[in-house]
A and B are shown apart, each in its own frame.
Chain A
Amino acid sequence: GENVEQHPSTLSVQEGDSAVIKCTYSDSASNYFPWYKQELGKGPQLIIDIRSNVGEKKDQRIAVTLNKTAKHFSLHITETQPEDSAVYFCAAKKNTGFQKLVFGTGTRLLVSP
């Protein structure tokens, strides 16, 4: 079945620095790749997503890139702020009516003032 690996497991940066989180998926049939932010005691919040017909997508300080050949996708956060501190999850889904998201193991991002 589909497997999603995520690195690093923890990431500490200074406020204003950039942060990059990387994921690799195993199933070439996957075509939808969302990123979620989860704060303590809350459910995952969708922050950005990308589909396999697009190589890059940007929304203000957040961008996602996708390399279908290498089965890699990455989250880039620029000008990090303390409120960006949270656990970030990548996920992958196949192109079926079946809604199963396969999640990575999460990255704990700590942004220090």
Chain B
Amino acid sequence: ETGVTQSPTHLIKTRGQQVTLRCSSQSGHNTVSWYQQALGQGPQFIFQYYREEENGRGNFPPRFSGLQFPNYSSELNVNALELDDSALYLCASSPLGAGGTDTQYFGPGTRLTVL
């Protein structure tokens, strides 16, 4: 069974640029959630995707957007990057619904640095 994978592992961008981060969910998991973890802090919920639709969002502006694909993989897009967007971006998958549980399993994360 393959766990949650994310790409790339590291990324450096400049202010104002756009970035796309990718996540492949664990086999059999249909729900993907994205979190932002600033240095020295706990992860903060960005949004959740289920059945290719966003069905829950945290306190993040619209320039944070996402997609989920039929194979349950997902993308996180961030437009107009700001210095404060520098963080570890984590993807978590869970087998929600159809008798599944809400336990979330995290990937290794993508470290984004905005200069």
Task: Decide if B33 is an interface residue (CB 8 Å cutoff).
Answer: yes
B9 and chain A: residue at smallest CB distance = A41
Chain B, interface size: which category? 20 to 34
- Given known A-B contacts A100-B33, A100-B45, A46 and B56 have beta carbons under 8 A apart: no
Q: How far is the CA of A36 from the CA of B92 in the complex (A)?
A: 12
Q: Which residues of A contact B105 (CB under 8 A)?
A: 46
Most chain A beta-carbon contacts within 10 A, residue among B42, B104, B106: B42
In the complex, how many residues of chain A place their beta carbon closer than 8 angstroms to a beta carbon of chain B?
23
Task: Decide if B2 is an interface residue (CB 8 Å cutoff).
Answer: no
Task: Decide if B66 is an interface residue (CB 8 Å cutoff).
Answer: no
Q: Which residues of A contact B31 (CB under 8 A)?
A: 99
Q: How far is the CA of A105 from the CA of B109 in the complex (A)?
A: 18
Question: B42 to chain A: closest CB distance in Å?
Answer: 3
14 example contacts (A-B, Cβ-Cβ < 8 A) are as follows A6-B42, A34-B103, A34-B104, A44-B43, A93-B102, A99-B94, A100-B33, A101-B35, A101-B43, A101-B45, A101-B92, A103-B43, A105-B42, A106-B40
Name A residues whose Cβ lies closer than 8 Å to a Cβ of B: 6, 32, 34, 36, 42-46, 49, 89, 91, 93, 97-106
Name B residues whose Cβ lies closer than 8 Å to a Cβ of A: 4, 6, 31, 33, 35, 40-45, 48, 50, 55-56, 58, 90, 92, 94, 96-97, 102-109
